Structure 1
Amino acid sequence: MDAGFDALKTWEAVREFALSLPETREEFPWGESVAKVNKKVFVFLGSGDGGRAPGFTVKLTDEDVHADALAAPGAEPAGYGLGRSGWVTVPLREGTPAVEVLCDWIADSYRAVAPKRLAARLDGSRPE
C-alpha cells in the first residue's frame, strides 16, 4: 500500500494541467469546478466535497483509452446519461494511475470537444 498517495495533490496537478490547455477557462456551475474550451466542458473536477473522494470526469472517445480509464480503481461511466457518450468518472484514490496518465486522459477529453485549431496546439503543452 502506497502511504504516500495524496488525492488532493493529485487533484491540484490535474486541475492545473487542464487549465493550462489553450483557451481554457474554469467555471463553477452546480458548485463544482469545470474546465471549458469554446464554452464546452471537457473535464468536471470534483473536489471531494460531501465525503466523496476527489476525482474528475472526462470524455474519452478512443475505445482503448476509455477501457483503460474504466479499469482505474473506482472508475465508472459518468452519471446523468453522460457515460453513454464516453464520459468516465475517475476517483483519485490508492492505485490511481500516475498524474501523467491522468493528464493524457484530460488532453484526450480536450481534443474531443475543442475546435481542431486549438486541439492541434496541444503538442508540448504538458509541463515537465
Structure 2
Amino acid sequence: MTGDELLAQIRAWGLTFPGAHSKSPWPGHDDLAVKDKTFAYLAAAGEPFSVSVKLPYTHPVALDLPYARPTRYGLGKSGWVTFTPSAEEMPSLDQLKDWVDESYRAQAPKRLVKELDARQP
C-alpha cells in the first residue's frame, strides 16, 4: 500500500470518530480535528508521507523509531510526534490507527471519548 493510500484510509477512518472533521490550516495538509482541535496532522495526497499525532502515553516508545521525531514548533514538548517513514519503513495501517486513536482521545472532550468507547464492542 502506498503512503497516499494509507493516509486516505487513516483520514476516512478518523472522520468516523465522534465530532471529527477535516481541517486544512495550510497548503499540503489535510488534518483531522475534533471541536477545532487538531488530533492528526496528515500530509495531503501527493505530498511526502507525514503524520503528526499527540501521544501522551506512548511518545517515548514512538520516538525510538528511526523515522520519528518530536513535532516542531514546540509541539514535541507536549507529546506530539511526527512520523516521516520511507517506503521501506512504512508502519502498518493498524499501527497508524493506534496512534491516531491515542491522539484523538488526548484532544477530544471526555463526552466524545465516552461516545467512541460506547461504539466499540
Check 1:82–1:121 CA distance in 2 against 1; reply closer, same or farther (3 A cut). same
What is the TM-score of this pair, normalised by structure 2? 0.85
What is the TM-score of this pair, normalised by structure 1? 0.81
User: How many residues matched?
Assistant: 118
Aligned to 1:43: 40
Aligned to 2:78: 85
Structure 1: segments with no counterpart, 5+ residues: none
Structure 2: segments with no counterpart, 5+ residues: none
Check 1:72–1:18 CA distance in 2 against 1; reply closer, same or farther (3 A cut). farther
What is the Cα-based RMSD across aligned positions, in Å?
A: 2.0
1:60 aligns with 2:55: yes
Residues 1-128 of structure 1 mapped to structure 2, 5 A cutoff: 5-31=1-27, 32-47=29-44, 53-62=48-57, 65-93=58-86, 94-123=88-117
- Measure, in 1, the Cα distance between the counterparts of 2:23 and 2:81: 20
- Measure, in 2, the Cα distance between the counterparts of 1:97 and 1:54: 11
Counting aligned pairs with the same residue, the percent is 36
Check 1:124–1:117 CA distance in 2 against 1; reply closer, same or farther (3 A cut). closer
Check 1:106–1:19 CA distance in 2 against 1; reply closer, same or farther (3 A cut). same
1:118 partner amino acid: L
1:14 partner amino acid: I
Check 1:79–1:48 CA distance in 2 against 1; reply closer, same or farther (3 A cut). farther
**Deviates most, 73-82 or 117-126:** 117-126
1:90 partner amino acid: F
CA-CA distance at 1:67 after TM superposition: 2.5
1:115 partner amino acid: P
